[in-house]
A and B are shown apart, each in its own frame.
Chain A
Amino acid sequence: MIGVRPLGIATLAVFFLAAFTPLPVRLYDLLAVPARIGPADAIVVLAGGGVLSGGELSDTSRRRTALGIDLYRDGLAPLLVLSGAVGWRSESTARAALAGKCGVPDAAVIARTAGHTTHEEAATLAPLLRARGVRRLLLVTDASHMRRARRLLEDAGFDVLPAPVRVMDAPRQPGERIRLFHETLRESLALLYYGVAGYR
């Protein structure tokens, strides 16, 4: 089978570069969107990871929700929109409960189950935000996911201020670098898919 050997050598080279060099961090930084925090009409926290079998939020969901609550408590917006994935338990309801425990008044929270994908989520949230007169929003999601999510909401007519959540800080172990490389690769493929599907 002519041609698989160079492919194999390239695969092994990529593996060693990803595991033992800062390459994954550089690639992740290229994909990630830097924070631009400022006053807005609403804080929108995108769904992530859902709810575990015990009823508690997943790590990803909890991290995003915590940042959204922090931004609200810093007085950056009067409205906290907590999105949630479709699932057997409501992620958005669990997030709203967490926000309530952290002192965010019920009147300031909108909890909404908003589909299965980022595209569906943006399509569900956009009319809801427009109805509330939102024009500028602080968008909370993972740093690598921000580029794709921001595009969708900007295309829907919003001025988007990114408030990214970083998955990990400066990985030191090869396994962590591989995980970061995997995440960068996955999100790059998702961006490509969104481009091909015409979501942008």
Chain B
Amino acid sequence: MAAYLIVALTSLLAYLFAVKRLGRRPSDLPGALARIADAVGTGLVFALVNLAAAGGLVLGLRALTGRFVSLYPLDDGVWLVVSMLQGWLWRLWRDSRSSQVAS
């Protein structure tokens, strides 16, 4: 648990670096956190859709072919990571389009 204090420390250092050296405004930070929440939420939607589609495919193949197809490949953390990347990319793409429209 104490090891995670390192994360708190590097976060503080990054904050100070961004404010002092890069000229970022602290008031922009809540907006950045909100965008992270958006990306994670979108990633979760992708995860649910991916797992529902894969589960449906497996159960459908079982019903159609009468052969056993395992659900275990769905029990893999990589699904979540890939889905989060999908969600993150989706948000970046969507936000870049919004900023182009705004400019």
Using CB atoms and an 8 Å cutoff, list the residues of chain A in contact with chain B: 1, 3-9, 11-12, 20, 86, 116-117, 174, 182, 186
Contact = CB atoms under 8 A, between A and B. Distances in A.
Interface string B25-61: 0000000001011111111110000000000000000
A8 B41 contact: yes
Contacts of A5: 34, 37-38, 41
Interface residues of B, number: 18
B38 A12 contact: no
**Max chain B CB contacts within 10 Å: which of A1, A8, A116?**
A8
Contact of A6 (B4, B41, B75): B41
Contact of B45 (A4, A86, A174): A4
A116 B37 CA distance: 39
A8 B38 contact: yes
B38 A1 contact: yes
Given A5-B38, A9-B37, A11-B40, 6 more contacts: A1-B38, A1-B42, A4-B45, A8-B43, A9-B41, A11-B43
Contacts of B40: 7-8, 11-12
Nearest to A3: B41
Contact of B41 (A7, A86, A116): A7
A30 to B, nearest CB: 20
Helix, strand, loop or mixed for chain A's interface?
Answer: helix
A8 B44 CA distance: 7
A100 B79 CA distance: 41
Contact of A116 (B39, B44, B70): B70
B42 A182 contact: no
Contacts of A4: 37-38, 41-42, 44-45
Q: Across chains A and B, which 8 residue pairs bring their CB atoms closest together, nearest first? A: A8-B41, A4-B41, A8-B37, A7-B41, A8-B40, A116-B68, A5-B37, A9-B37
A91 to B, nearest CB: 15
Nearest to B47: A11
A195 to B, nearest CB: 15
**Max chain B CB contacts within 10 Å: which of A9, A174, A182?**
A9
B66 interface: no
B23 interface: no
Given A1-B94, A116-B68, A116-B70, A8 B36 contact: yes
